Structure formats: C-alpha cells, structure tokens
Amino acid sequence: MSELIVETHALSKTYGKHTVLKDISLSVEQGEIVAVIGPSGAGKSTLLKLLDGLEKPTEGTVNLFSEELNKHSVRKLRSRTGMLFQKTILFDRTVEENITLGLSYRHIPAAERKKRTSELLAEINMESYAKHRGRTLSGGEGQRVAFARVLVTKPELLFLDEPTANLDPLATAALEEMILRENHAHKTTVIINTHDQAQAQRLADRVIVLIDGTIRQTGTPDDIWYHPADSAAARFVGFQNIIPCSIHDGMLSFGTAKIPTEKKDMDGFMMIRAEDITLSKTEGNICGTVISLTRRGAFIEIEVDAGCTFSIRIPHKEYTGDIAIGNQIYLSWNSDALIFSER
Ligand code: ADP
C-alpha cells in the first residue's frame, strides 16, 4: 500500500450552534486524486480548510504525512501543501513576479527562484506571458498563473477548492490538464472540491460524496454514479426516480404495483435513472398512464403515473411521436439498473 498522505479521525467542526462537519474519517494515499462533491453548503470548503490547517477542528484529528496536524506542526506541514481557491487575486506585477512570489518566505536563493519560475512557465506553456502584467490576464490565464504560484513551491499535497468554478470550458480544460500533469509527473496527491460532476469523473481516482456535513459515500466514479449509497447521494448524482418501496417475502411493492424480486426484505427506496427505463405499448414490468411529455435538450422526458410518478428519458431522435398524454404504457428496466437503499 502507498503511504497515507492524509488521514482524519472523527473530525467535526461547529460554528456557534451550527455543526458544519460531523464525524469525518477519511484517508488519502500518495498520488491519488480525490474529488469531494456535494451540494453548496455541504461543508466541502470547511473540510479542505481543516485538512490544510487553516481552521481547527472542534473534535477529531488530522494527520498529514503521518504526523498529527497541531499548532506545533502546522507550519512545517503546510510547507509541504499547496492550496488553490476558486478566485485568486494576482498582484499588479508581471506574471513572472507573481509566480516567484509563491517562494517568498521560503528562504530560497534568488537564482533558484528564477530557475524554478522559468521552468514552470515553460511547463504550463506561458513563457510568452512572462512580462505581462498579472492584472491584464483573462480569468483562465490568471487562474493558471495562480496555480503556477502554488506549484512553484513543489507541494506534495494539493488542495483545490472549486478551482474552475469561474472559468469557461476551454480554460477549465487547460487547468484540468495542469492538474493531471502535476499529478502524473510528481505523484502529487490532489484533493479537489467541485460541484461539477463531469469534472470529478474526468479527474478523480476516488470520489467522496459530502452531504449535510457527513460522508455519504466514497468510491470510484462508477460506484458513485451507478450505485449511490443512499437516496440523498442518488439525488445529488442525478437519479430522477427515487421511489419509496418495500420488499417482503419476495415481493417488491411501490405505488400500487407489486412485482416479484429475489432481493432481501427491506423498507426504503428504489432508485433508477430516467434513461435506464424503456417504454413499450405491449409489455413490461409495470403499466401506467402518461401524464407529461417535455423536451429536454436532446431528450424527451416522459412522466408516467403508475401509482407513483416515474420519469423516463428517451433520445429525441428516437421519439416517433406516437406517445401522448393519457396513453397506457408499459415500463421495463434491467434489474442491474435498479438500486435499493434503506435510507
Ligand atoms: P461548501 O464548500 O460545501 O459550499 P462550506 O464549507 O463553504 O460549504 O460551508 C458549509 C456551511 O458552513 C455553510 O452553511 C456556511 O455558511 C458555514 N460556514 C462556513 N464557514 C463559516 C464560518 N467561518 N463561520 C460560520 N459559518 C461558516
């Protein structure tokens, strides 16, 4: 097993009466890219601040590089980490100077500072910008320079807090490329907060779903997007159908339907993506009545009342116009696509 770079035990954080993080235990190995996803206000930024020693936990411990983070170790440990925020203000100096500033207070000789800065400018393809003023750059260029200012310190652990939230798709792609290059070239461990689920899928080896200050699930991108651990995680990753159900004695009941199943007894939710349900006029798992048809970009969303409401999505190109509100229709799914959760 690789070295554990981050390890937390029962971490919690309370501001006044508001508990923002509860019982967070996680570990991150060297060289991993871990994405923390979750709705706004879930506690993602607070978590990164606790991990980087910018805030103190109310309870629990953080270990970085196998050493406990506390007031005695924080300075030394932080010299091995780097943090990039959503928006960084560059100084009104040249790009080169802005990057070199990352090395102030680090007692690095001037010649070495200059060498590292020009190497980094070359690495990120911004040599021609060296003498440009920081304030004249576009948002995307500015964020790349801000990231270079972090990378020039050679961090072993990077915390990225919504680093592309203000960038357009091209600038986002350029920053993502820098993140991946840094990770591959130096085995730098990365923890990135993002509300952009596609970004988490593109970058992460492992994803943590944080909702209401608790970790709901940790897994590979496929685990998270196809096998959500509970109804809140499923809702966050875009499952449109989260339907109360129960299983007793080999029968699955939901709405007014009852169908045989081999799953074990439970009370909770059945969850399925809208695109994983198929429609037929003649046969299927259950029958219902079409109650709405809505165009959603390249898809048609069809709602069917079967004692509870199901959403189904079919590509607009495949829609032949033969389904109308009020029609009786059958719904089918592959049993692998149906996820059950007790919560
Ligand atoms: P996220 O990054 O997931 O959007 P945050 O960690 O920024 O979430 O915030 C989580 C919750 O903690 C929010 O309700 C926020 O208002 C609250 N919070 C964050 N920082 C502070 C603070 N310094 N004082 C009081 N409340 C805070």
Indicate which residue's Cα is closest to atom 16 of ligand 1. 41
The closest residue, in CA terms, to atom 13 on ligand 1 is: 41
Q: How confident is the model at residue 110, as a pLDDT?
A: 87
Nearest-CA residue for atom 27 of ligand 1: 15
Decide whether any atom of ligand 1 lies within 6 Å of the 24 Cβ. no
Q: Whose CA is nearest to atom 15 of ligand 1?
A: 41
Residue nearest to atom 26 of ligand 1 (CA): 15
Atom of ligand 1 nearest to the CA of 18: 26
Q: How many whole angstroms from its chain centre is CA 189? A: 16
DSSP structure class, residue 168: -
Ligand 1 center to residue 37 CA distance, Å? 15
For residue 13, how far is its CA from the centre of ligand 1 (angstroms)?
10
Per-residue confidence (pLDDT) for residue 137, from 0 to 100: 92
The confidence band for 104, taking pLDDT boundaries of 50, 70 and 90, is confident
Q: What is the pLDDT of residue 102?
A: 82
- pTM: predicted TM-score of the whole model, two decimal places: 0.92
Q: Which range (35-39, 75-79, 98-102) has the least confidence?
A: 98-102
What lies within 8 Å, CB to CB, of 224 at 6+ separation is 37, 207, 209, 217, 233, 237
Q: Within its chain, how far is the Cα of 241 from the centroid? A: 21
Q: Which two tokens stand for residue 219?
A: 């897994």
pLDDT surpassing 70 at residue 254:
yes
Which are the contacts of 8, defined by CB distance < 8 A and separation ≥ 6? 24, 25, 26, 27, 50, 51, 60, 61, 62, 63
* 194 ligand 1 Cβ < 6 A: no
Q: Is the CB of 152 under 6 A from ligand 1?
A: no
* Nearest atom (ligand 1) to Cα of 193: 2
| Res. 85 pLDDT band, cuts 50 70 90 | very high
Q: How high is the pLDDT of residue 277? A: 96
Residue 125: predicted pLDDT: 84
Q: Is 269 helix (H, G, I), strand (E, B) or coil?
A: strand
Determine the average pLDDT of the residues in 15-20. 96
Give backbone dihedrals phi and psi of 57, rounded to 5 degrees, phi first. -70, 150
Choice among 86-90, 299-303, 333-337 with the minimum mean pLDDT? 86-90
Question: What's the chain's average pLDDT?
Answer: 94
Question: How far is Cα 278 from Cα 258, in angstroms, rounded to an integer?
Answer: 19
Residue of 108 and 161 predicted with greater confidence: 161
DSSP code at position 89: P
With 70 as the cut, is the pLDDT of residue 343 above it? no
Please measure the distance between the N-terminal and C-terminal CA atoms of the chain and give it in whole angstroms. Answer: 33
| Of the candidates 186, 185, 98, 203, the residue with the CA atom closest to the CA atom of residue 141 | 98
Pairing assessment for the beta strands 67-68 and 59-64 based on DSSP bridges: antiparallel
